[in-house]
């Protein structure tokens, strides 16, 4: 290897290590509970290249040379991403033997490196590269299933649909990681039979770019599902104790029928717990509050926040809008926003306002979202509706 190339590779490795350390420190300070798995993902490539550099300089730990020449840390990236997304969508923690299963590939190859000191033969390189490719595909599938579950779940709590709420960025990222991982594996397959393993700048550039993209999105990702604090009515607090709690006990588990089962069971529970007279009173309370205070004008209003303002438990409030209005929270809020925007578009005082301004006044966070929601509910775009109102 030429001195110039070696210096360039060293520079890339330094960038990976410093970027990983900085991002991990920032995420740990920002929200350790949410970001702990992403911290592991970001530190994994740094550990790989630190290990390789220490090994190439003859550094030994506990008289085991191979512990400083260990590339198996790369295998922590895939389960780390999976558990990070599980944390985001608020699923039950995986513990014990179920957790250990996800780290078997890492433990297996680490054992071969550290204790058996298996040489980097052609067959071993091939096995490791094939494992990376298989894991990237498997964890891409499982993580996309979690994103799919969130696509159903967020509409019960959120009135917005940005990439950090829908977790569409995770979907894009997983496809990118799998695609780039496949390209990296193809490169490594070409190097298995010639040259040194993980040599050259393509793998380092791939890892560095992935690390930067993951850091950016994880910096921006808010906590999605959390228990809202605040006072609620006595009746509502009693009902909370009887709320159905959906258990996600398997990895690929019943993504398609979780929402259907939970809603139907909750409906039957609250049908027994709340009388028809009480339902009418609560619905009247909700409608009066929506007219008087217009909470839908807040772009980031969430179901637990609105339930707290109404002095209802989130579960009771969600049940009422699902049962009485026949819609989820997302549609409930956006319907009010569209109706409010339609009223503004009809009024002469607002004819000189741009559609962006009308969208913002109605609680939408972008013109694109405004256009999409308006057309869904009114069967025409805001501009068409305004033109028809003026001409009519």
Of 99, 159, 139, the closest CA to residue 252 belongs to 139
Q: Pick the last residue of a domain from 220, 251, 276.
A: 220
pLDDT in tens, the chain (392 residues): 566 667 877 888 888 899 999 999 999 999 999 999 999 999 998 888 887 776 555 555 444 444 445 788 889 999 999 999 999 998 888 888 888 999 999 999 888 877 665 556 667 777 888 888 889 889 999 999 999 999 888 999 999 888 889 999 999 888 887 777 777 677 666 765 555 555 566 777 878 888 888 999 999 998 888 643 333 333 433 333 333 233 333 444 444 444 444 444 455 566 667 788 888 899 999 999 999 999 999 999 999 999 999 999 998 999 899 888 999 999 999 999 999 999 999 998 999 999 999 999 999 999 999 999 999 999 999 999 999 988 86
Task: Please report the pLDDT score of residue 52 as a whole number.
Answer: 74
Total domains present in the chain: 2
Question: Is 267 exposed, middle or buried, given 0-12, 13-18 or 19+ CB atoms closer than 10 A?
Answer: middle
- Cβ neighbors of 375 (< 8 A, separation 6 or more) are 381
Name 84's Cβ contacts closer than 8 Å, sequence gap at least 6.
35, 37, 38, 41, 218
Packing angle of the helix pair 168-192, 122-153 (nearest 10 deg): 170
Confirm if 20 and 42 have CB atoms less than 8 A apart.
yes
Looking at residue 27, its pLDDT comes to: 95
On whether residue 227 sits in a domain, the answer given is no
Residue 226 maps to a domain: no
**What are the tokens at 268?**
């039957």
CB 304 within 8 A of CB 311: no
pLDDT number for residue 184 = 66
- In this structure, are 174 and 239 located in the same domain? no
Q: Which residue has the tokens 């509409």?
A: 155
Q: In residues, how long is the chain?
A: 392
Residues 180 and 281 in one domain: no
In a domain, 60, yes or no: yes
Same domain, 261 and 139: no
Residue 146 sits in the same domain as residue 42: yes
Residue 331 to residue 74: CA distance in whole angstroms:
42
Same domain, 202 and 280: no
Q: For residues 247 and 216, state if they share a domain.
A: no
Q: What is the DSSP string of 266-283?
A: HHHHHHHHS-HHHHHHHH
Residues 68, 106, single domain; the answer is yes
Half-sphere exposure of 61 (CA within 13 A, CB side): 13
Distances (CA, A) of 5 to 10, 197, 199, 208, 286: 9, 16, 10, 17, 67
- Of 220, 245, 272, the residue that ends a domain is 220
127 located within any domain = yes
Half-sphere exposure of 378 (CA within 13 A, CB side): 25
Location of structure tokens 């605040």? 230
Q: Minimal CA–CA distance to 49: which of 234, 190, 208?
A: 208
198 and 247 belong to one structural domain:
no
- pLDDT score recorded for residue 267: 54
Residues 201 and 289 in one domain: no
Same domain, 121 and 145: yes
Residue 228 lies in a domain: no
Q: What is the CATH number of the domain that holds 148?
A: 1.20.1070
Burial 20-36 (b: 16+ CB within 10 A, else e): beebbeebeeeeeebbb
Given 220, 243, 265, which residue is the final one in a domain? 220
Q: What is the pLDDT, as a whole number, of residue 202?
A: 72
Q: Does the pTM of the predicted model rise above 0.85?
A: no
pLDDT of residue 194: 56
**Chain CA centroid to CA 317, Å:** 25
CATH of the domain at 239: 1.10.10.60
What tokens does 335 get? 């319907």
As a whole number of angstroms, the distance between CA 239 and CA 327 comes to 21
Whether residue 295 sits in one domain with residue 245: yes
Instruction: Determine contact, residues 239/313, Cβ cutoff 8 Å.
Output: yes
Sign of the CA dihedral running 326, 313, 251, 134: positive
Inside any domain, residue 225: no
Q: Classify residue 72 by its DSSP letter.
A: G
Q: Is residue 27 part of a domain?
A: yes
Q: What share of the chain is helix, strand, coil (3-state, %, to 5)?
A: 75, 0, 25
d(CA 246, CA 255) in angstroms, rounded, equals 12
Nearest alpha carbon to residue 89 among 205, 221, 208: 221
Domain span including residue 319: 234-391
The number of beta carbons lying within 10 Å of the beta carbon of residue 210 is: 21
How far apart, in whole angstroms, are the C-alpha atoms of residue 236 and residue 344? 36
* 229 within some domain: no
The whole-angstrom separation of Cα 105 and Cα 316 is: 45
Please indicate, yes or no, whether residues 255 and 175 belong to a single structural domain of this protein: no
């Amino acid at each position: 290897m030429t001195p110039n190339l070696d210096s360039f590779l060293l520079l890339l490795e330094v960038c990976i290590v410093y970027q990983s350390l900085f991002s991990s420190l920032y995420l740990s300070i920002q929200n350790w509970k949410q970001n702990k798995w992403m911290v592991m993902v970001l530190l994994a490539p740094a550990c790989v290249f630190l290990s390789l550099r220490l090994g190439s300089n003859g550094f030994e730990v506990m008289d085991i040379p191979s512990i400083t020449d260990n590339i198996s840390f790369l295998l922590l990236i895939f389960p780390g991403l999976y558990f990070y997304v599980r944390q985001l969508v608020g699923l039950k923690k995986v513990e014990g033997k179920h957790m250990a299963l996800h780290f078997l590939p890492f433990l297996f190859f680490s054992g071969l490196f550290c204790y058996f000191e298996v040489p980097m033969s052609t067959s071993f390189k091939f096995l490791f590269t094939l494992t990376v490719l298989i894991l990237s595909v498997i964890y891409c599938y499982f993580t996309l299933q979690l994103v799919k579950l969130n696509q159903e779940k967020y509409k019960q709590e959120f009135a917005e649909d940005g990439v950090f709420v829908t977790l569409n960025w995770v979907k894009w990222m997983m496809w990118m990681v799998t695609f780039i991982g496949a390209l990296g594996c193809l490169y490594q397959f070409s190097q298995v039979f010639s040259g040194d393993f993980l040599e050259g700048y393509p793998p380092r550039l791939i890892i560095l770019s992935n690390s930067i993209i993951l850091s950016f999105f994880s910096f921006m990702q808010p906590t999605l599902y959390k228990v809202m604090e605040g006072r609620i009515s006595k009746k509502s607090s009693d009902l909370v104790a009887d709320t159905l709690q959906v258990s996600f006990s398997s990895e690929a588990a019943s993504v398609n029928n979780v929402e259907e089962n939970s809603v139907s069971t909750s409906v039957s529970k609250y049908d027994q717990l709340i009388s028809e007279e009480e339902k009418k009173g609560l619905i009247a309370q909700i409608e009066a509050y929506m007219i008087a205070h217009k909470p839908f004008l807040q772009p980031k209003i969430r179901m637990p926040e609105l339930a707290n303002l109404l002095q209802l438990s989130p579960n009771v409030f969600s049940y009422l809008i699902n049962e009485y209005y026949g819609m989820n929270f997302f549609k409930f809020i956006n319907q009010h926003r569209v109706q409010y925007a339609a009223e503004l578009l009809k009024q002469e005082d607002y004819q000189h306002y741009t559609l962006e301004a009308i969208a913002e006044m109605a609680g939408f966070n972008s013109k694109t979202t405004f256009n999409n929601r308006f057309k869904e509910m009114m069967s025409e775009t805001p501009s068409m509706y305004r033109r028809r109102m003026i001409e009519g």
